[in-house]
Amino acid sequence: MPSSPHFVAKMLAVAMSKSTQFSALTNLANLTEEDLKYRYEHKIGNHTVSKIRQRAYVLNALNDNPADVAAKEILFKMLHCSASRPCKKPYCPMCRFNRQEEFSNEMLAAFSHLPASQLRFLTILHHIEYNAAAIVHDTIKDLNKKIRNLLNEFESDQNYKIQLLGAFEIEVFPAGAVLSDRKLLSLTPLNLQPTNNSPFFLLHFHAVVNLGSCPDTKLLSAFKSKGQYPNKYQVLLQPLYSTKTVSDNLSTLAKYMLKFRLQYSKPTSAVGQNQLFARTCYASLYSSPIAKSIVMLAQRCNNFNGLTFSRM
Ligand SMILES: [Zn+2]
């Protein structure tokens, strides 16, 4: 049986024996023929070189401990991912690209016929964890239920219908991360421990919302009521960009929600043009143990299926 431990161990041994190919992955000057094929068959979208580098970096991070069977199973699936047998891991560039495209299509099918005036980009900051292992599938399920219950109650009290399509995201801040004033203000009430110099994980949620006829203020106060999300900057409801079409907005946002970033943010002085995305720049890859922990974390949360959210 393909799933027996013996089979997995044997296949892992085969994968590991290709170690020359594997270590070559880390050096862009030495891209293997297989990776060049992967790149040039247009399976991973834009920024191919950096995506291939990130893939190699994830594979190496997963390969840090020969005894870690769970990590090696992911590594094996990513290493042998192909169009006919996709690994469906969020940190695999091809599978992420395909899921982003699918999600963008779902978003367009759901909302592109609606006027921008009733669509919003919702962000909810949940809380901060210092122990990545504490974040499991049930953590996400609980947050999912909390949002659904709140909206069910809101709709039964008021005569509105709220639709959401989105995803949970877990952003990692490395040890000693420099936080902007805005981040400090928004994160301090969510269990940020300013003297704790460990990496931390911010659980948050993004969605496109169809407000229907509901005013922003009513939905916002529903989120803040009953002590659910009481803090400043914890819930944001932002309009779409007026300079772009509704479809372009929806597609960009859908892909943004499933970015599964491997780089950490630094505050910049950039102001103006693109307020949703321009506050930070993303330059530095996480350290290898952090990269491994977020890959394992996504796996524990059931990857794309566990982290996406639909309330239509
Ligand atoms: Zn894959």
In the structure, how many helices (H) and strands (E) does the chain have? 12, 7
- Other C-beta atoms lying within 10 Å of the C-beta of residue 244: 13
Which helix (DSSP H) or strand (DSSP E) does residue 292 occupy?
Answer: helix 288-300
CA of residue 230 to ligand 1 center, whole Å:
39
CA of residue 136 to ligand 1 center, whole Å:
22
Percent of the chain with pLDDT over 90: 50
Contact of 170 with 295, CB cutoff 8 Å: no
pLDDT of residue 275: 46
CA of residue 77 to ligand 1 center, whole Å:
7
CA of residue 305 to ligand 1 center, whole Å:
14
Confidence of residue 33 (pLDDT cuts 50, 70, 90): low
The one-letter amino acid code at 130 reads Y
Contact of 118 with 209, CB cutoff 8 Å: no
pLDDT one-digit tens code per residue, 170-212: 998 888 777 888 888 889 889 898 778 888 999 999 999 999 9
Does the structure show a pLDDT above 90 at 142? Answer: yes
CA of residue 245 to ligand 1 center, whole Å:
31
Higher-pLDDT residue of 18, 55: 55
CA of residue 300 to ligand 1 center, whole Å:
17
CA of residue 63 to ligand 1 center, whole Å:
17
Question: Token pair 């431990």 is at which residue?
Answer: 5
CA of residue 88 to ligand 1 center, whole Å:
5
Rounded Cα gap, residues 267 and 281, in angstroms: 7
Query: 109, 140, 279: which is closest to 203 by C-alpha?
Result: 140
Does the structure show a pLDDT above 70 at 31? Answer: no
Q: What is the mean pLDDT of the chain?
A: 83
- Calculate mean pLDDT across residues 129-145: 93
Rounded Cα gap, residues 298 and 91, in angstroms: 9
- Calculate mean pLDDT across residues 73-83: 89
pLDDT of residue 245: 96
CA of residue 85 to ligand 1 center, whole Å:
8
